[in-house]
Amino acid sequence: MICVTGASGTLSSEVIRQLEAAKARFRGTYFSNRPAEAARARGIEAVIIDYNRPETLRAAFQGCDKLFLLGPNVLNQSELERNAVEAAKAAGVRHIVKQSVMGAVEESYSLAKVHRPVEKAIESSGLAWTFLRPNSFMQNAVTFMGKTIRAEAAFYSASGQAKISHVDVRDIAAVAVKVLTAPNYEGKAYTISGPEALTYDELASELSKALGRSISHVNLSPSDLKSGMLAEGMPEAIADRMLDLERYIREGRASRITNDIKQVTGREPRRFAEYVRETAATGVWDVEAEEVTR
């Protein structure tokens, strides 16, 4: 049995979809009743967890030999995920597949410093492990930039002309499902990237082609970007974490391209242009889509 944490999130929900397609036995964990009930309506075994209450973690992990670990994006994420590692060991989990980030082992930027301590806890736990270290998700273009793309035909960063090898969540999930359902992946770490590194100006160009209207990338100073994030209601500590990611990108460290997706899954990763064409057909970039979410 496989346990998937964060089951309603962008990545874990895709992992669940692919586990369903593979007819694998799994259980999803959720933070609240509404998504859990929706999952149960689809026939998914769903349980509620609270990372601050280890007994809920142990109960959720009971009977599972593999755990896909991705905790909530909060300031104490490292602490909460370490709670999950301890609970997994107590519940008899044998193998943890930890969702991490590109460059985690270097601990040279904020998100790496969130994930690497958890990796170290897993390494010292005595459990088998596999680490997945992806670059920025292509889906972030919708999740974090979609609002201003729809309303202003523009999106904002402090990344300058740095390149990023964005990766499609579906490809990350394909790696995760392979690792969770097949042998011989224990004790390995995979740095997961897309097949090309693009600047945000180049992403804007691809968006413009696919959507049939001009989309612009506006490069801001870090201080101006922070002001915008704070104005949107983002907590300052989270904004600082995101600004440190922007620094990491500006230094050219997010441009790395790897072959790990093909190595694990046997197929090439998706390109951003392909992702945008597919999502354009769904209407998520349309101005009307913003009205529906209000």
* Average pLDDT of the residues in 86-112: 96
With 70 as the cut, is the pLDDT of residue 89 above it?
A: yes
CB atoms inside a 10 Å sphere around CB 154? 14
Cβ(207)–Cβ(284) under 8 Å?
Answer: no
Cβ(174)–Cβ(18) under 8 Å?
Answer: yes
Cβ-based neighbours of 88, under 8 Å, separated by 6 or more: 57, 61, 67, 69, 96, 125, 127
How many Cα atoms within 13 Å fall on the side-chain side of residue 75? 7
With 60 as the cut, is the pLDDT of residue 202 above it?
A: yes
The pLDDT of residue 291: 44
Q: Quick one: which of 86, 12, 21 has its CA closest to 54?
A: 86
Confidence class for position 286, pLDDT limits 50, 70, 90:
confident
* Average pLDDT of the residues in 128-156: 95
Percent of the chain's residues with pLDDT above 70: 98
With 60 as the cut, is the pLDDT of residue 289 above it?
A: no
With 70 as the cut, is the pLDDT of residue 292 above it?
A: no
The pLDDT of residue 35: 84
Give the burial string for 244-271 (b: 16+ CB within 10 Å, else e): bbbbbbbeebbbeebebbeebeeeebbb
How many Cα atoms within 13 Å fall on the side-chain side of residue 269? 32
Cβ-based neighbours of 58, under 8 Å, separated by 6 or more: 87, 90, 91
Indicate the helix (H) or strand (E) that contains 85.
Answer: helix 77-91
The pLDDT of residue 62: 96
- Which tokens is 179 given? 């690792």
Q: Which amino acid is at 11?
A: L
The pLDDT of residue 203: 96
- pLDDT digit string, tens, across residues 10-69: 999 999 999 999 999 999 999 888 888 888 988 989 999 999 999 999 999 999 999 999
Strands 95-99 and 66-69: parallel
Q: List the 128-134 sheet strands across, edge first.
A: 45-48, 26-30, 2-4, 66-69, 95-99, 128-134, 188-192
The pLDDT of residue 283: 86
Q: What is the pTM of this model?
A: 0.94
With 70 as the cut, is the pLDDT of residue 280 above it?
A: yes
* Mean pLDDT value across the chain: 94
Distance between CA 121 and CA 70 in Å, rounded?
A: 14
The pLDDT of residue 33: 85
Domains parsed from the chain with CATH numbers: 2-134 (3.40.50.720), 152-161+196-256+270-293 (3.90.25.10)
Q: Which amino acid is at 224?
A: D
Cβ(158)–Cβ(130) under 8 Å?
Answer: no
Percent of the chain's residues with pLDDT above 90: 88
The DSSP call for residue 271 is: P
* Average pLDDT of the residues in 207-214: 95
The pLDDT of residue 172: 98
- pLDDT digit string, tens, across residues 237-266: 999 999 999 999 999 999 999 999 999 999
